[in-house]
Amino acid sequence: MAMAAVRAAAAAGGPASLSRFRGALVAAVLGDCVGGEFEGAEEVPMESVLQHLNGLDDETKGEGILEYSDDTAMARCVVQSLLTRTGFDEQDMARRFAKEYSASPGRGYGSGVIQVLKKLSSPQLSDVYQPARDQFNGRGSFGNGGAMRAAPFALAFPDLADVKRFARRGAMLTHSCSLGYNGAVLQALAVHLSLQGALDLPQQFISRLITEMEEVEEDEAARNDARILKEAEMPFSDRLHRVRDLMDRSKVSIEEVISELGNGIAALHSVPTAIFCVLHCLQPRKCLPENYSGLERTIAYSLALGGDTDTIACMAGAIAGAHYGIEAVPQSWMRCCEGAQDADINAERLHMLYHQSSQGGASGTGGQSHEFRNENRSNSSNGTEKNSEAV
């Protein structure tokens, strides 16, 4: 490991340190907020990215000028639910998604998920998973909407099996196709491992993700979906092998990354891409300023890929933030991004829950959970319409 990487890892503290929690949750918000500028763009010159990011240093600009989108809006619901219920409670989480959407519908939700969120708001609904199952003639969505809000599961549960199980169930509230919810499992796994310091050894990190996802994709439903959608037998594992191949190359162009991994709204075309962005930016890169921290490099590089930039930068931000910690987050970015301060406060609460859980505190069924004493801030706010499609 290069000296810069050693210093960065030391700054973040030991495994599951508070700095890593704050870095993960805050950087996810920053990725979402700064990524909105380029969402849907086919080509994004790096100069435009750097210009956009340098503009955040302008002190004359107001606080929270970059608004967050559906990625953060839904992640906030996940966080509030996990904290309030001290564990996973699908009824509560579904209610929060529906309420958040109706309070602030202009956050760039895709048309597919809007139908699900409207159905979730019905008081007559008995099975909260049914609306998602009914999507797309019963096939369910394979978009990245479950993955974009998966990071908090890794910050609430210390146990790997819980992270996988609850990230999956949390995603299934809107994305019932395995190519959707397994993207959420992968994203949560990547944050979990990063939180433990696993990115200090990048080759082992990617190998571990491949092993875990091969186990996840053994599932009959996953194999069936892959067959129907004409994807590789184990689609996410296959993509992670491609990530490893790209890591091994001395030079890789942005065009190659897009053609090998994708930059779209399908979970399969964005979660492995976000993981690659983090791995690729562990080292300084010629196309990026020397004074950038690894976290700044990761977010800048994610934006330069174009496509679903807010979600890819949000997911890459969470994984990178868990590695570098809050010290790597520029204050000016934090000031400009709506919701960053709230994320910082909530990260501290999740850190407490996580460490309580490691002593047997949190559970997976809402009915048996304790109420968490401090209800967090209101998560309603206004936003402007963005034209993203979340499948």
CB of 310 to Mg ion, least distance (A): 4
Residue 162 makes contact with Mg ion by CB under 5 A: no
Residue with the CB atom nearest Mg ion in the bound state: 69
Q: What is the C-alpha separation between 305 and 285, in angstroms, rounded?
A: 15
The one segment of 21-29, 101-109, 343-351, 375-383 that binds Mg ion by CB under 5 A: 101-109
CA atoms within 13 A on the CB side of 7: 8
CB of 390 to Mg ion, least distance (A): 7
CB of 343 to Mg ion, least distance (A): 15
308 is in an annotated binding site: yes
141 is in an annotated binding site: no
CB of 137 to Mg ion, least distance (A): 25
64: Cβ–Cβ under 8 A, 6 or more apart, which residues?
A: 335, 336, 337, 338, 339, 340
Is the distance from CB of 187 to CB of 75 less than 8 angstroms? no
Residue 70 makes contact with Mg ion by CB under 5 A: yes
84: Cβ–Cβ under 8 A, 6 or more apart, which residues?
A: 92, 371, 372, 375, 376
Cα-based angle 272, 180, 279 (whole degrees, multiple of 5): 15
Helix-then-strand count for the chain, H and E = 19, 0
Residue 110 makes contact with Mg ion by CB under 5 A: no
The one segment of 74-82, 107-115, 238-246, 296-304 that binds Mg ion by CB under 5 A: 107-115
Residue 310 makes contact with Mg ion by CB under 5 A: yes
Residue 338 makes contact with Mg ion by CB under 5 A: no
Backbone angles phi, psi at 227, to 5 degrees: -65, -50
The smaller minimum CB distance to Mg ion, of residues 14 and 106, is found at 106
**Pick from 294, 322, 304: nearest CA to 43:** 304
104, burial (CB in 10 Å: exposed 0-12, middle 13-18, buried 19+): middle
- Interface with Mg ion: number of residues (CB under 5 A): 6
For residues 370-389, which are near Mg ion according to CB under 5 A? 388
CB of 167 to Mg ion, least distance (A): 19
The smaller minimum CB distance to Mg ion, of residues 196 and 263, is found at 263
Figure out which of the listed residues 17, 69, 298, 363 binds Mg ion, where binding follows CB under 5 A.
Answer: 69
Alpha helix segments (H runs only) across 201-325: 202-216, 220-228, 235-248, 254-261, 271-280, 294-304, 309-324
69 is in an annotated binding site: yes
CB of 31 to Mg ion, least distance (A): 10
The one segment of 133-141, 266-274, 303-311, 358-366 that binds Mg ion by CB under 5 A: 303-311
Residue for token digits 């209800």? 375
The smaller minimum CB distance to Mg ion, of residues 310 and 344, is found at 310
**Pick from 207, 262, 218, 215: nearest CA to 240:** 207
| DSSP helix/strand/coil, 37 | helix
CB of 211 to Mg ion, least distance (A): 31
71 is in an annotated binding site: yes
The smaller minimum CB distance to Mg ion, of residues 250 and 387, is found at 387
CB of 37 to Mg ion, least distance (A): 12
Figure out which of the listed residues 31, 87, 108, 112 binds Mg ion, where binding follows CB under 5 A.
Answer: 108
309 is in an annotated binding site: no
The smaller minimum CB distance to Mg ion, of residues 70 and 217, is found at 70
Residue 71 makes contact with Mg ion by CB under 5 A: yes
Q: What is the C-alpha separation between 330 and 321, in angstroms, rounded?
A: 12
DSSP for residue 86: T
| DSSP helix/strand/coil, 282 | coil
Q: Which residues are annotated as a binding site for Mg(2+)?
A: 69-71, 308, 310-311
Chain residues in the site for Mg ion (CB under 5 A): 69-71, 108, 310, 388
